[in-house]
Structure 1
Amino acid sequence: MFRKFGAPVAVALSLSLVGGAAQAAGGATHIEDVDFSFEGPFGSFDPLQLQRGLKVYTEVCAACHGLKYVPIRTLSDEGGPLLPEDQVRAYAEQYEVFDEEIDDFRPAKPSDHFPESALENAPDLSLMAKKRAGFHGPYGTGINQLLKGIGGPEYIYSLLVGYEEPPECAPDDFPGSYNTAFGAGGYPEECKDEKGYPTAPGSWIAMAQPLYDDSVEFDDGSPADLENAAKDVTAFLTWTAEPKLMARKYAGLTGVLFLTVLSVLLYLTNKRIWAPIKNKQKD
């Protein structure tokens, strides 16, 4: 179990739903279709973007959320942030881990995992990009998912940039923060029509807005506005959920090329074997 010291800015409350009588079905959500570099069969992670995303996670998200399934050493792996090993060791030392052999806490090593969530009701983010779906097909057909994918990264990005002022129909004391991308939270009765349907997209989420313009300062001078910071941390969380994504793509492309060559060889072989028989039939 980790114990965090030098805790980053605590801005997130939780991703849990607004509880009690406020629970209600939210309106249709607004999910941005973002053009990420890792999408498509030839897409790949940008190591510099992953490094920026790591910084956003460390300084903002880690105050409440953990990455308990991610070994710190993977920050230097091919296809990831590609941090030098000395930087990985220095990063690991930000945390303390309880060592049963010495019965005490010690600085974490690259072989240790990221800390778990600091709050009991704050979900772990290790697999969040695979656990959430941003796109849903009409009438359950799944057409959008077939064309665009599940949309986990788009959901995370849209959630981070989806905080807005509540609609005028909402009472001032309604708990939570209004978010157009979150559809499973509380929803005030005042914002429903005569048939009980929501009149505004999204719903109210218990997590306060975690990211703002210039919440972090990137070492490479990249813009740190809300949209870019959200995109960077989304790419990082996609990598934590799919650390072998690039290796799987390369293996898939290799398999397709192999099967293509094999198909051509089988066609030519079949043609050569049956050619004499076909010629005799013509004679």
Structure 2
Amino acid sequence: MVRPLGFLVGLGFITALVFAILTTPLSNEENVAHKFHEEPRHLALSSDGLMPHWDKQQLQRGMQVYKEVCSACHSLHLVAFRDIEALGYSEGQVKTFAKGFQVPSINPDTGEPATRDGLPSDYFPSPYPNETAARAANNNALPPDLSLITKAREGGKDYVYSLLTGFQNPPANLPAELKPGTGLHFNPYFANLNLAMAPPLTKGQVTFADGSPNDVKSMAADVTAFLVWTAEPKLVKRVQVGWASVLFLAMFSVLAFLSYRNIWADKKH
């Protein structure tokens, strides 16, 4: 009798706990903010779907946007310069690109901190020497590293694209407590609607050698595609290997079944 009673008490406790969690309302401020928050818009890329491929021209444009705009505040500390050879660059082009960056070093004569031209083996450097300097330059906000940003944020590439193109003036009916303060900018795709990053892209900000469109949406799509690649550079290869494995297993299954039928064909049940 004790065990069934204990089970019922435990079940009742769990039910009450789940009910409390599901019915507890958010704070008033969170409820109000949710009304102005928007879900990320979908960005279609060639790397989507069951048969993905990299649009190398778009990835090169995206890397240019990162270098000319985003690298002023954001690092890519998990990406080496030599990795961009996979985007269609030659070894010489990679060396030239790496040389355009200054990376931290040590003066061999004095032992003092110094900088030098980047090498293909170096990683994309941070624009700031440390976190304190980064916060001081950004209204106490720490610019995140972008290496894995499309994997680290809910919504992935759609969120990144929507955030880059979502800056706008606050709605007239936005409550005073939710209006952006000094140094903040309204963006309905950001969790609390206001973020320290100013709109990073403006029309015509980057000029592409192939004459591709350089409006805000096009540049945002290009740099987002590039960040999808930095987060998972082996994505296309992984999917190709996956399909090859499925095909192999399917053929093996058919051969195994035919072998089974052949071996047991003359056996009586």
State whether structure 2 residue 217 is matched by structure 1 residue 227.
yes
What is the alpha-carbon distance in structure 1 between the residues aligned to residue 219 and residue 180 of structure 2? 29
State whether structure 2 residue 154 is matched by structure 1 residue 133.
yes
CA drift at 1:227? 1.1
Q: Which residue of 1 aligns with 2:157?
A: 153
Aligned residues: 218
State whether structure 2 residue 82 is matched by structure 1 residue 73.
yes
Counterpart amino acid of 2:146?
Answer: L
What is the alpha-carbon distance in structure 2 between the residues aligned to residue 234 and residue 45 of structure 1? 13
Q: Which residue of 1 aligns with 2:117?
A: 107
Counterpart amino acid of 1:72?
Answer: F
Q: Which residue of 1 aligns with 2:190?
A: 182
CA contact (8 A) 2:180 2:186 kept: no
Runs of 4+ with >4 A deviation? none
Counterpart amino acid of 2:88?
Answer: L
CA contact (8 A) 1:117 1:124 kept: no
CA contact (8 A) 2:40 2:189 kept: yes
What is the alpha-carbon distance in structure 2 between the residues aligned to residue 95 and residue 117 of structure 1? 10
Q: How does 1:1-283 map to 2 (within 5 A)?
A: 25=30, 26-27=33-34, 28-77=37-86, 81-100=87-106, 102=108, 103=111, 104-118=114-128, 119-120=134-135, 121-134=142-155, 152-170=156-174, 171=176, 174-175=180-181, 176-183=184-191, 185=192, 203-277=193-267, 280-281=268-269
What is the alpha-carbon distance in structure 1 between the residues aligned to residue 53 and residue 107 of structure 2? 41
CA drift at 1:251? 1.2
Task: Name the structure, 1 or 2, with higher relative contact order (CA <8 Å, separation 6+).
Answer: 1
Runs of 5+ in structure 1 lacking a partner?
Answer: 1-23, 135-151, 186-202
CA contact (8 A) 2:81 2:122 kept: yes
1:57-86 deviations in Å (ceiling 9; x for gaps): 011101100001100100102xxx221221
Identical amino acids, percent of aligned pairs: 41
What is the alpha-carbon distance in structure 2 between the residues aligned to residue 238 and residue 38 of structure 1? 8
CA contact (8 A) 1:52 1:233 kept: yes
What is the alpha-carbon distance in structure 2 between the residues aligned to residue 47 and residue 173 of structure 1? 40
Counterpart amino acid of 2:42?
Answer: D
**Residue 227 of structure 2: SS of its match in structure 1?**
helix
Q: Which residue of 1 aligns with 2:15?
A: none
What is the alpha-carbon distance in structure 2 between the residues aligned to residue 89 and residue 65 of structure 1? 22
1:30-70 deviations in Å (ceiling 9; x for gaps): 21112111011211111110100011001110110000110
Q: Which residue of 1 aligns with 2:10?
A: none
CA drift at 1:105? 2.6
CA drift at 1:272? 1.4
TM-score, normalised to structure 2, is: 0.76
CA drift at 1:261? 0.7
**Residue 236 of structure 1: SS of its match in structure 2?**
helix
**Residue 211 of structure 1: SS of its match in structure 2?**
coil
CA contact (8 A) 1:70 1:240 kept: yes
What is the alpha-carbon distance in structure 2 between the residues aligned to residue 275 and residue 165 of structure 1? 77
Report which of the two has the higher share of helix: 2
What is the alpha-carbon distance in structure 2 between the residues aligned to residue 85 and residue 129 of structure 1? 27
What is the alpha-carbon distance in structure 2 between the residues aligned to residue 173 and residue 267 of structure 1? 67
TM-score, normalised to structure 1, is: 0.72
